[in-house]
Amino acid sequence: MKILVCISHVPDTTSKIAFIDNSTKFDTTGVQYIIGPYDDYALARAIELKESSGATVTVLNVGLADTEPTIRKALAIGADDAIRVNAEPTDSLFVATQIAEHAKGYDLILMGRESIDFNSGVVHAMVGEMLGIPSVSPVMKLDIEGTKVKMSKEIEGGKEQVEASLPLVAGCQEPIAEWKIPNMRGIMSARTKALKVVEPKTSEQSVVAKKYELPAPKGAVKMISADNVGELVTRLKTEAKVL
Amino acid sequence: MNILVFVETSEGKARKTSLEAVAYAKGMGGTVTAIVLGAADVNELQSIGKYGATKVLHAADAKLNEHVIQVYSSVLAKAMQDENTDVLVLANSSLGTPVAAKVAIKTGASFASNVTELPDTSAGFVVKRSIYTGKAFALVELKNAKKVIAIKKNAAELKEVGSNAQVSNYSATLNDADFNTKTLSTEKATGDILLPEAEIVVSGGRGMKGPEHWGILEALAKALHAATGCSKPVSDMGWRPHHEHVGQTGVKVAPQLYIAVGISGAIQHLAGVNSSKCIVVINKDADAPFFKAADYGIVGDAFDILPKLTEAVLAAK
């Protein structure tokens, strides 16, 4: 079985978000980049499937050369080889177009439910649409039985058990697998694994980011004495007007 | 401008976030048509008109009772064509968002999800969407003639502006090949208020000391008519189910009031709550970072404060 894991290269979840150039560009100063946390779950499940059933795992990233340390980390975790589509991931449709271009021939295409920078949460659905194969997200459990895939999918206030056939696209989230930390042997071997760089398929941009904004700053917290919780209820009613 | 709104139902009733999508479409101006797929109560369908829809299309085919994303997207893409739709609006959800993305590809529309405000059409068609898990916003231009917009909770205020709408049957053409996923079973908390839609959320963290103490938190939630949530460690330890986990990698909530009990306020938790209108933090550690993000704070023991607060809420009713 051939598995493709699509990973995003995103600011660490503790990053302070700021913009430069008159709020038209993300400020990368001091920002640590990681494999998207949801993509990391997808990768971990792919490695488990590799270990249990002998699948091969290819990772794919749409990004410029600065994403290569992130790709190497995925190789160190256990992926066999990698593809980098040499382009800025401008919007979901663009990223999905690039993935669909390389995903043909794979049995299982895994990725996170969403990237944590732009949060659209639709690349898996778009790739499924482009390839004419099913897509399911967010998947919390995924097991393969022959050509059938059994999944547990989160819905509002609960979950659904879903079945579909391979080939399939899945957007993953916890607890599908435990994150894996690369070991020394993995890190050493990752250096020599194949990382193919390909040029993007050009497409018309249908969504263009014009400007970025930060939320309005929050006022100072109003402390209320633990001996007087009634005051909190009064304030929520009359001052905040939320009760 | 012709606007089509996909209204999701839950147990035959229109979902509140979907009605917000109707209100959003009304706010855009133009003619608003709503579409409902699968079994629904006829009074419920008519009342969608109160939020701004002039007509409601109902595709009642029993095959639509199962939420197959591929099927829903084909039906909606066809309905956009039949209704000469310029913009499709729907609420972000586990069903709506992927359906919207597929419809956008089928119809060649520009697509945006997590949209938080009405579009600015003074120069092009620009929408504001939430990015970096609520830590920032992007103003994006949707360039194509057709557009698909998935809105985030609270993008529009829900208010009654009209009367009952006329309901007509919509005969959906269903293609067997679109039934490419099969729902084997559904487990859903019944009777509870859905966390992503709740106006008030009461969440507990490790400070609750164990699942056996959730009763006092649930009592407060009940008094406030609130949904309950929890922090990541609480769901990781299995004290509470994963669908209650609020945060960066869990559910993102946007209630009027968020009450955090015994949660220190890691940045990943804040990312899931930063769209809340008012945040109350109860923690025995006065240095808990959550206080910096709060509107109101109480330093004290949850086991002492929660019952008192529940009593005060009930007394104030």
B268-310 pLDDT per residue, tens: 999 899 889 999 999 999 999 999 999 999 999 999 999 999 9
What length does chain B have? Answer: 317
Burial class (CB in 10 A: 0-12, 13-18, 19+), A53: exposed
* Residue A214 to chain B, least CA–CA distance (Å): 5
B185-228 pLDDT per residue, tens: 998 876 567 888 899 999 999 999 999 999 999 999 999 999 99
- Test B98 with A93 for CB contact under 8 angstroms: no
Burial class (CB in 10 A: 0-12, 13-18, 19+), A16: exposed
Give the residue-averaged pLDDT of B63-73. 96
* Residue A226 to chain B, least CA–CA distance (Å): 6
- pLDDT at position A14: 87
Domains and CATH numbers, chain A: 2-213 (3.40.50.620)
B152 and B19 co-located in one domain: yes
* Residue A148 to chain B, least CA–CA distance (Å): 10
B33 and B172 co-located in one domain: yes
Nearest CA in chain A to B312: A230
Q: Which residue has the tokens 């949060």?
A: A119
Nearest CA in chain B to A120: B113
B231 and B138 co-located in one domain: no
Last residue of a domain, one of B131, B147, B178: B178
- pLDDT at position B162: 87
Nearest CA in chain B to A231: B312
CA-to-CA distance for B271 and B150, rounded, in angstroms? 20
Do residues B262 and B208 make contact, with C-beta atoms less than 8 angstroms apart? yes
CATH number of domain containing B130: 3.40.50.620
Type of residue numbered A6: C
* Residue A177 to chain B, least CA–CA distance (Å): 12
Mutate to test the interface with B, among A8, A119, A225 (most CBs of B within 10 A): A119
Q: Is A208 on the interface with B (CB under 8 A)?
A: yes
Q: Is residue B35 part of a domain?
A: yes
Ramachandran class of A21: left when φ > 0, alpha when ψ lies in -120 to 50, beta otherwise: left
Q: Is residue B98 part of a domain?
A: yes
- pLDDT at position B190: 62
Of A214, A221, A242, the CB nearest to B257: A242
Token pair for residue A35? Answer: 């494999």
CA-to-CA distance for B138 and B124, rounded, in angstroms? 15
Q: Is residue B184 part of a domain?
A: no
B164 and B213 co-located in one domain: no
**How would you classify the pairing of strands A158-165 and B181-188?**
antiparallel
Q: Which of chain A's residues have a Cβ under 8 Å away from the Cβ of B186?
A: 155, 158-161
B224-256 pLDDT per residue, tens: 999 999 999 999 999 999 889 999 888 989 999
B99 and B220 co-located in one domain: no
Nearest CA in chain B to A227: B305
Of A11, A119, A232, the CB nearest to B309: A232
B149 and B75 co-located in one domain: yes
Return the closest-CA partner of residue A36 out of B162, B132, B64, B257. B132
Give the residue-averaged pLDDT of B143-154. 95
CA-to-CA distance for B155 and B136, rounded, in angstroms? 15
- pLDDT at position A56: 97
More confident call, B190 vs B125: B125
Q: Is A22 on the interface with B (CB under 8 A)?
A: no
B256-273 pLDDT per residue, tens: 999 999 999 999 999 899
Do residues B106 and B75 make contact, with C-beta atoms less than 8 angstroms apart? no
Q: Is residue B102 part of a domain?
A: yes
B79-116 pLDDT per residue, tens: 999 999 999 999 999 999 999 999 999 999 999 999 99
- pLDDT at position B191: 57
> B208: which residues sit within 8 A by CB, 6+ positions away?
B214, B217, B234, B239, B261, B262, B302
B38 and B139 co-located in one domain: yes
CB atoms within 10 A of CB A160: 20
More confident call, B194 vs B181: B181
Enter the pTM of the model.
0.91
- Give 10-residue mean pLDDT values along chain A (243 residues): 97 92 94 96 97 95 97 97 96 96 97 94 97 96 95 91 97 93 94 97 91 90 94 94 91
Residue B121 has, within 13 A of its CA and on its CB side, a CA count of: 8
**How would you classify the pairing of strands A19-20 and A25-26?**
antiparallel
Q: Is residue B190 part of a domain?
A: no
Q: Is residue B189 part of a domain?
A: no
CB atoms within 10 A of CB B78: 17
- Test A240 with B296 for CB contact under 8 angstroms: yes
Q: Is A173 on the interface with B (CB under 8 A)?
A: yes
Q: Give alpha helix (H) positions in chain B.
A: 16-28, 42-47, 69-82, 96-107, 214-224, 232-236, 267-270, 302-315
Q: Is residue B183 part of a domain?
A: no
Strand, helix or coil for residue B295:
coil
B153 and B269 co-located in one domain: no
Q: Is residue B185 part of a domain?
A: no
* Residue B57 to chain A, least CA–CA distance (Å): 24
Give the H or E element holding residue B40: none
Nearest CA in chain B to A138: B94
Degrees (nearest 5) of the Cα angle A123, A127, A130? 140
Q: Which of chain B's residues have a Cβ under 8 Å away from the Cβ of A162?
A: 181-184
Token pair for residue A216? Answer: 């309005």
More confident call, B12 vs B199: B199
- Test B137 with A215 for CB contact under 8 angstroms: yes
B99 and B245 co-located in one domain: no
Of B95, B126, B267, the CB nearest to A210: B126
CA-to-CA distance for B235 and B243, rounded, in angstroms? 9
B213 and B310 co-located in one domain: yes
- pLDDT at position B311: 96
Do residues B36 and B45 make contact, with C-beta atoms less than 8 angstroms apart? yes
> A48: which residues sit within 8 A by CB, 6+ positions away?
A177
Domain that holds residue B103: 2-178
- Test B184 with A163 for CB contact under 8 angstroms: yes
Nearest CA in chain B to A40: B249
- Total domains in chain B come to 2
CB burial readout B273-293, b (16+ within 10 A) else e = bbbbebbbbbbbeeebbbbeb
B12 and B66 co-located in one domain: yes
CA-to-CA distance for B44 and B305, rounded, in angstroms? 41
DSSP bridge partners of B283:
B299
Last residue of a domain, one of B178, B203, B223: B178
CATH number of domain containing B244: 3.40.50.1220
Q: Which of chain A's residues have a Cβ under 8 Å away from the Cβ of B256?
A: 242
B164 and B204 co-located in one domain: no
Last residue of a domain, one of B178, B204, B223: B178
Of A137, A156, A205, the CB nearest to B98: A137
Q: Which of chain A's residues have a Cβ under 8 Å away from the Cβ of B290?
A: none
Backbone angles phi, psi at B13, to 5 degrees: -105, 145
